[in-house]
Chains A and B, each alone.
Chain A
């Protein structure tokens, strides 16, 4: 047998045998190859790539918020979080001591964060890169840097109630930071690369990068200098009068641009936690109140525009007036007054306003209130904005019409109230207010987010007439001589309305307000001041008018608006033998 085998070594047989062997082995290889390449190929290749491939997120830089002069109000800067790997720290006490020197923190508290078995724990968040470089020079083992970004508000509480604030995740939680979140945030990018054994990218391997698209820059209509003056003035007055809150709105009536929107108390967006939740909103838009006497301007404007009265129209005002089942009074008890329409405004007589409104009737009166924007959105689209409330005409009771005539029975926010006076200032044309001037995309494209609409509410002649009457209010014969600015013609109206306290569902305290414009014969600025529940002082002409004066002076100087040099005509406030 063996011999038979050996005889196979005959060359031809040997060749065949070898060939068969080779074919058999190669077939096994071929099968395995097909198995690996064809059937498992894609899965295996994906697995291999996965082992090496890393995808990291490239965070988009959040857009800035700047004022009308490009002064930054909110910017995003690079920051560093300091983390620790506790297992690498052999002497927590010593390291804590060194870190505390740089961070200015309590060494004992730091030591507890550095002690333990955790591989990852935050030691400090949101440090500046400069602070980190100080820490880096200490060469502390187990102390690691994590790069991040931080939202910074370089002006602190300046325009904080407009700008808003962000949460710890960098997303907007209040104000425009919240309202414009999608625009400000931008789009995160990604980078995919293959990682070598050393951790670095393999240069020849595919490396795909989808660049992050930074957020847009939001340019406001706010002027920081006027905003600052308004905030200082209202904060001081809220403190002096012990009011619960106060707001100031400064508007350019010709463009509808809101130049300042100040509230007090306010908050510091760099340290939101320290403030109470109620102070973080924007009271000038979210808080509504009954406007009171400032609404009498609408009553007068409507009647004059209908041609049914003029500044000299005599109104005989009795001591009381019964309408429906209710007896109406004026603020002060009086006998019969003989006032002109101008006098009615100057003395701010509620009964005079009722008698005046009755010349046009409820239906026309309601249409004017609507055209002036009562109960309608301001158009600012601000988060948390309230539209106020104007009862619909068919729900009016017998006392609604007389109540509305002197500004009670409806709700407005300060911007809506200011917009009424901006309409009068802008010769009867109401321009929707704007707060965001431009959105500048990262590629430089500029868009104007607000659609500015203008409505002719009253004729230019009516507006001019009303302004003359409002100048009497600021004169020594009116309710607001404290609003006078020497050298300038000022027109305006006080308001001292009962405050409908939502806590008790009753009238408690007052809302004192003053809304005015200057120069009265060619208005460039409208300033509205509201103080809710002042306890030291009561009347609008007493507590709100001085704030108006302060803010208006500052705004006139900032915008370089000179006096017109004209003098106001003296309109008669009384007629006949009365007084």
Chain B
């Protein structure tokens, strides 16, 4: 017998067994129907089922509860957020207003007309001719001119950095022979600035990068005509 044939035989046997089983079930069913009464059997109580249903209900309730809580939290935080936004916006508005007020103050203080008026009130005046000092070699460039000296009313007392400058430069006493006489209305601020510039000229070696501006030369020019050529500053006469 070939091996293939043997295999076939085995298969047939298996098939036969299946058929036999099916026949047995069919027969039993027919038997049951014939008697009109099913085979009743006591089913064990579904304990496990009941337990899972309880868990399920709990789960649903839990989800629902959690959902409600989350909703509450979200709504509360949104409301809270709205309050925060409002209060921050109010704060921003207040700060913007403050910043605008301050910057408009700065603008007003730094505008040329105001600066000129305040400088005049301090007894300052525009230089008639621009004069520069080359701080490398101390050479004066330009021709200095007598400053217009106000011939009425004493100048206001200066508590400006003019004094501080003098203290910072203790060695800046005018060299002997220069400007020994002070004109009436002598302006210490301008003179100090000039001295300071002169001092800087001898002390530092900056070259042309540092050009000091000498604002006006307070020479003995009492009664010099109050020049209309004092751009800006002559608008408000001193005193």
Chain A residues packing against B (C-beta within 8 Å):
71-72, 75, 77-78, 128-130, 152, 154-156, 158, 200-201, 203-204, 224-225, 227-229, 232-233, 236, 240, 485-488, 546, 549-551, 553-554, 556-557, 560-563, 565
Contacts and interface: CB of A to CB of B under 8 A. Distances in A.
Nearest to B128: A553
B61 interface: no
Interface in B168-185: none
A562 B211 contact: yes
Contacts of A200: 82
B111 A158 contact: yes
B38 interface: no
Contact of B97 (A130, A152, A156): A130
Interface stretch (B15-23, B44-52, B140-148): B140-148
A154 B108 contact: yes
B101 A130 contact: yes
14 contacts: A129-B100, A130-B97, A154-B104, A228-B113, A228-B232, A232-B232, A485-B129, A486-B145, A550-B228, A553-B129, A557-B130, A562-B130, A563-B130, A565-B141
B79 interface: yes
Contacts of A232: 231-232, 235
A71 B108 CA distance: 11
A228 B145 CA distance: 23
B96 interface: yes
Contacts of A224: 111-112
A556 B116 CA distance: 17
Contact of A487 (B112, B131, B228): B131
A487 B113 contact: no
B82 A554 contact: no
A562 B208 CA distance: 10
Contacts of A225: 112
Contacts of B230: 550
B77 to A, nearest CB: 10
Contact of B142 (A71, A78, A550, A562): A562
B81 A156 contact: no
Contact of A155 (B79, B113, B129, B142): B113
Chain B binding surface SS class: mixed
B158 interface: no
A553 B228 CA distance: 13
Contact of A557 (B78, B111, B213): B213
A160 to B, nearest CB: 12
Given A130-B101, A158-B112, A72 B107 contact: yes
A441 B96 CA distance: 21
A506 B142 CA distance: 46
A557 B108 contact: no
B238 interface: no
A232 B143 CA distance: 24
B129 A203 contact: no
B229 interface: yes
B228 A236 contact: yes
A563 B142 contact: yes
A204 B142 contact: no
B91 to A, nearest CB: 14
Given A487-B141, A563-B142, 18 more contacts: A78-B96, A129-B97, A154-B104, A154-B107, A154-B108, A155-B107, A201-B82, A203-B78, A204-B78, A224-B112, A227-B112, A229-B231, A486-B143, A546-B228, A551-B231, A553-B127, A556-B130, A563-B130
Contacts of A152: 104
A550 B211 contact: no
B116 A228 contact: yes
B53 to A, nearest CB: 31
Nearest to B78: A203
Nearest to A559: B130
A486 B81 CA distance: 71
B76 to A, nearest CB: 11
A487 B143 contact: yes
A291 to B, nearest CB: 25
A553 B93 CA distance: 45
Interface string B99-121: 01100100110111100100000
A557 B127 contact: yes
Residue among A158, A488, A562 with the highest chain B CB neighbour number at 10 A: A562
B211 A554 contact: no
A188 B232 CA distance: 41
B141 A155 contact: no
Nearest to B110: A71
Contact of A560 (B96, B104, B211, B228): B211
A554 B111 contact: no
A347 B106 CA distance: 50
Contacts of A563: 130, 132, 141-142
Contacts of B232: 228-229, 232, 554
Contacts of A240: 228
A277 to B, nearest CB: 24
A562 B107 CA distance: 30
A557 to B, nearest CB: 5
Residue among B82, B127, B130, B143 with the highest chain A CB neighbour number at 10 A: B130
B160 to A, nearest CB: 20
A562 B229 CA distance: 19
Given A232-B235, A487-B129, A155 B111 contact: yes
B126 interface: yes
Contacts of A488: 130, 142
A220 to B, nearest CB: 15
A362 B134 CA distance: 50
Given A487-B143, A553-B130, A560-B211, A158 B113 contact: yes
Nearest to B140: A487
B112 A228 contact: yes
Nearest to B109: A154
Nearest to A482: B229
Contacts of A129: 97, 100-101
Contact of A562 (B104, B113, B132): B132
B45 to A, nearest CB: 34
A498 B131 CA distance: 38
Contacts of A486: 129, 142-143, 145
Interface in B127-164: 127-132, 134, 141-143, 145
Residue among B79, B93, B112, B141 with the highest chain A CB neighbour number at 10 A: B112
A561 to B, nearest CB: 8
B231 A554 contact: yes
Contacts of A562: 130, 132, 134, 141-142, 211
Contacts of B229: 546, 549-550, 553
